[in-house]
Amino acid sequence: MPKMIFVNLPVTDLARSIAFYEAVGGTKNPQFSDDTAACMVFSETIFTMLLTHEKYRSFTKRPIADAHKTSQFMIAISADSREEVDAVVGRAGSAGGVVDTNPSQDYGFMYSRSFEDPDGHVWEVVWMDQAAVDSGEAGAAA
C-alpha cells in the first residue's frame, strides 16, 4: 500500500473552507466529515482534514498559529502541466484565496506558483518535466 498524507489544517469557517478546497480541486469525503471537520480528497494518497479550531485543539495543546502572520510550513502539491498550475492558482483566487503569496518560480523544467487559503495556509502548485529530471538536465539547471 502506498504511503498516504493527511494534512490537518485549523480553519475558522468550515463551510467557507470546504467551498474553497472544492474550488481548487478537492472532493469532500462525507464518511470522514461532520460539523467539526471535513476530509478533502485530492488523490488516492493525499487528503486535507479541515478542522474547526475546537476540533483541532483536541489533537494538540499547542496554540493555533495565525497563518496570516506566521509561516510554519508550505504545502506543495504536484500538477500535470504548467497550464494546470495556472488553472489551480486561478481557481484559488476566484474562490477568495490570495494568489502568488510567494514569488512564482520558472526554471524551464520546473514551474510553480502559490496561493493562500482563507485562513492563511500557503500552498504551492508545482509542475516538473520528468524527462528533464530523468536525463539529469534538471539538476544542472537548478
* Residue 138 vs residue 25, higher pLDDT: 25
Structural domain that includes position 2: 1-62
**pLDDT recorded at residue 132:** 73
DSSP structure class, residue 97: P
Predicted model pTM: 0.88
Contact by Cβ (8 Å): 78, 128: yes
Q: What is the DSSP letter of 3?
A: -
Total domains, the chain: 2
pLDDT tens digits, 31-57: 999 999 999 999 999 999 999 999 999
CATH number of the domain enclosing 27: 3.10.180.10
List pLDDT tens digits, range 101-139.
Answer: 999 999 999 999 999 999 999 999 999 987 777 777 666
Contacts of 120 (CB under 8 A, 6+ apart): 66, 67, 68, 69
Are residues 85 and 22 part of one domain? no
Q: DSSP readout, 33-93?
A: --SSEEEEESSSSEEEEEEEHHHHHTT-SSPPP-TTT--S--EEEE-SSHHHHHHHHHHHH
Please name the helix (run of DSSP H) or strand (run of DSSP E) that holds residue 123, with its range, or none.
strand 122-128
Closest CA to 115 of 80, 86, 84: 86
Residue after which a domain boundary falls, among 62, 83, 113: 62
CB 37 within 8 A of CB 52: yes
